[in-house]
Chains A and B, each alone.
Chain A
Amino acid sequence: MTALLEVSDLVVDFPTSSDGVFHAVDRVSFTVSAGERVGIVGESGSGKSLTSQALMRLVPSPGTVSQGTVLFEGEDVMSFSPKKLQTWRGSQTAMVFQDPMSSLNPLMRIGRQITESLQVHLGLSKAESRTRAIELLQKVGIPDAESRLSDFPGAFSGGMRQRVCIAIATACSPKLLIADEPTTALDVTVQAQVLDLLDNMASELNTGVILISHDLGVISSFCDRILVMYAGRIVEQGTAEQIVGDPQHPYTKALLASILKLGEPIPRRLRSISGAPPTAGHRPAGCSFAARCASVIDTCLTIDPALVPAENTRSTNTTAMSATTTFAGTPEQLVACGVAAPAAFAISEGATAA
């Protein structure tokens, strides 16, 4: 299966006030296949939203994509002409944002907002696009779709607006859907509905989905594969089972430990990660997580670990290796930690020397 989207070595730079640059997204590489759900999880400032904006070429000023390639079905997105970019954004990809109110035009009727892109990108007639818009609204579970076409966004509740946004996003049957914190502003009962809806839409259209969230619960219940970002880098990636069931990076472990789970006994104290992530432009030498890491060793402070295949017991276990059934074909688990996977230091050393 060829990848729908292939991002390699993506770097997004922001100028710092001291005339330097700061890599807000630092050498991020990943792929998304058709129909695959990839989750990016990280805290504020980890660069998860910027990554998605960068691959849509929507990095807010003064940031710039200074390095890396983004291939969409083999074509280089970074070299698209403005016109091609526009068509591509409208018809092949779509985004759903956190705040459904600000991503809808409050002064335009819902119907017009849906039919607009249908007419522009699919060349449908006015009547056709109207029929299709009603269909779309029904599909996302908006009752009384026909009469609601003439409503303004203000007449919808938060959850309903997010449904409308999903209807707009999926109107042109995009191949790639980026959902940036789509449920953060919604109540839990509505969040579950919206996630179900995204899930259905994606499987129906075989759309590749990138779901961005700070909530590991949301990410792991929705995604096939998870990227964990910290301070602009991917520090661990793997299948949802690998990340949640057998995390390798100390950050992922700590993150999982600090989440409260309803099904587990209540701890007297929560395990927390001390300190705070490095502030922008103040990336320490060595591993960015070293200052907060429980299993830090001297090398961590000097050598910046590379993202290498994990050396966890499960996949290196010889009997498991011989079986090679369960993990055959599934992507490898990668980790950027020299303690969990010594190769991370070795490769990185070579890189810095070169």
Chain B
Amino acid sequence: MSEAIPAAAIVDPAELGDKPVRAREVWRSLTRDPAALISIIVLVLLALIALAAPLLSPHDPLQTFPDQGLGPQGQPLPPGTPGFLLGTDALGRDLLSRLIYGAQVSLIIGIVANGLATAFGVLVGVVAGYFGGVVEAVLMRITDVVISFPILLLCTALIAVTTRSTFNVIIVIALIYWTTLARIIRGMVVSLKEREFVVASRTLGLSHRAIMWRHILPHLVPAIIVYTTLGVASSILIESALSFLGIGVPIPQASWGQMISDGSTYFQIAPWMLFIPGICLIVTVMAFNLVGDWLSDMLNSSTPTAR
């Protein structure tokens, strides 16, 4: 009845009613945000490269070339050397092949670890927010405790008591990264459950599970997509940090963090060993962040539930 937001009164219900042409809307939004468009292209390329790693990489990433791969004094070769497009590392391994396989590791860890974290975070957030009371208090205190640990210290400790493996890295990242999402989701659920349509389904006698599944979760999807995308970037970063510290993906397996770690040792004589994986890491993380931002803008402006 109020005309507090006159613009809203202008929105024509009949026009909104037309089934939104999703694909066209997405495309329109993308053309307005070239950075996001480029990021998506970058990520798609990266994914393709990671998938086709065995086909694309000129050499085995683990194979050392003690003769062709190293200079006269045993130093790494610079980019542009015939046979080694991006040069070699200190052990005479092909940098390009390692980079390609490293992309595979980074993406797998980023996506799987973050997927687990999302699932767990959403579960904790929804349950805590919906039931409130003691359930909420317990769950959120656990969340607070996990959040208040210094991330790297916690990782180091966790890895120290297990063996160094890709699987463990994934588990450790997932164990740490669910907390932020849990908090965000909990906040959203607390306000959603007071919305009249949720209260109405309670008064009809709908079960808690059905309410959470049908009336609450669907409204969280846009937020989950956005935070998951942003979370992938963080997970890739944390994996790199772990590898850099020597507690990430086990050597000799290639990962970008591992490569940066190696590179930093030889920074003086072979700066490319540091810069090439470093740039790849920065570009990938930035691309995920930009896509996350774009998703957030697009989903928030077109979601009717966002009031």
- The interface of chain A, by Cβ under 8 A from chain B, is 14, 16-18, 22, 24, 43-45, 48-50, 53, 60-61, 63, 97-99, 180-181, 184, 212, 214, 279-282
Which residues of B94-137 are within 8 A (CB) of A?
Answer: none
Residues A44 and B10 in contact, CB atoms below 8 Å apart: no
Cβ of A74 to closest chain B Cβ, rounded Å: 28
- Among B3, B12, B14, chain A packs the most CB atoms within 10 A around the CB of B3
Docked CA distance A280–B11 (Å): 7
Which residues of B3-36 are within 8 A (CB) of A?
Answer: 3-7, 9-15
Q: Does B207 contact A (CB under 8 A)?
A: no
Which among B2, B5, B9, B15 is the interface contact of A181 at CB below 8 angstroms? B2
Docked CA distance A180–B15 (Å): 28
A181 surroundings in chain B (CB, below 8 A): 2-4
Residues B7 and A184 in contact, CB atoms below 8 Å apart: no
Which among A24, A50, A214 is the interface contact of B1 at CB below 8 angstroms? A214
Closest 10 CB pairs of A and B: A49-B3, A45-B9, A280-B12, A14-B10, A60-B7, A17-B15, A50-B6, A279-B12, A281-B12, A280-B10
When C-beta atoms are compared, the residue in chain A nearest to B11 turns out to be A280
Residues B15 and A44 in contact, CB atoms below 8 Å apart: no
A279 surroundings in chain B (CB, below 8 A): 12-14
A184 surroundings in chain B (CB, below 8 A): 1-2
- Given A16-B12, A279-B14, A282-B12, A63 and B7 contact (CB-CB distance below 8 Å): yes
24 pairs from A and B in contact (CB 8 Å cutoff): A24-B6, A24-B9, A44-B3, A45-B3, A45-B10, A48-B3, A50-B6, A60-B5, A63-B7, A97-B4, A98-B4, A99-B4, A180-B3, A181-B2, A181-B3, A181-B4, A184-B2, A214-B1, A214-B2, A280-B11, A280-B12, A281-B12, A282-B12, A282-B14
B1 surroundings in chain A (CB, below 8 A): 43-44, 184, 214
Docked CA distance A138–B5 (Å): 32
Counting contact residues on chain B (CB < 8 A from A), the size range is 10 to 19
- Total A-B Cβ pairs within 8 A: 56
- Given A16-B15, A17-B15, A281-B15, A22 and B10 contact (CB-CB distance below 8 Å): yes
Docked CA distance A212–B15 (Å): 28
Docked CA distance A181–B1 (Å): 10
When C-beta atoms are compared, the residue in chain B nearest to A22 turns out to be B10
Docked CA distance A3–B189 (Å): 54
When C-beta atoms are compared, the residue in chain A nearest to B5 turns out to be A60
Docked CA distance A16–B1 (Å): 22
Docked CA distance A99–B4 (Å): 8
Q: Told that A24-B9, A63-B6, A280-B11 touch, could you supply 11 new A-B pairs with CB distance under 8 A? A: A22-B10, A24-B10, A44-B3, A45-B9, A50-B3, A50-B6, A63-B10, A99-B4, A181-B2, A181-B3, A282-B12
A97 surroundings in chain B (CB, below 8 A): 4
Docked CA distance A43–B15 (Å): 21
When C-beta atoms are compared, the residue in chain B nearest to A48 turns out to be B3
B9 surroundings in chain A (CB, below 8 A): 24, 44-45, 280
When C-beta atoms are compared, the residue in chain A nearest to B12 turns out to be A280
When C-beta atoms are compared, the residue in chain A nearest to B14 turns out to be A279
- Given A44-B1, A214-B1, A53 and B15 contact (CB-CB distance below 8 Å): no
Docked CA distance A184–B239 (Å): 56
Cβ of B15 to closest chain A Cβ, rounded Å: 5
B11 surroundings in chain A (CB, below 8 A): 280
B15 surroundings in chain A (CB, below 8 A): 16-18, 281
Docked CA distance A247–B11 (Å): 31
Docked CA distance A17–B1 (Å): 24
B13 surroundings in chain A (CB, below 8 A): 279
A49 surroundings in chain B (CB, below 8 A): 3-4, 6
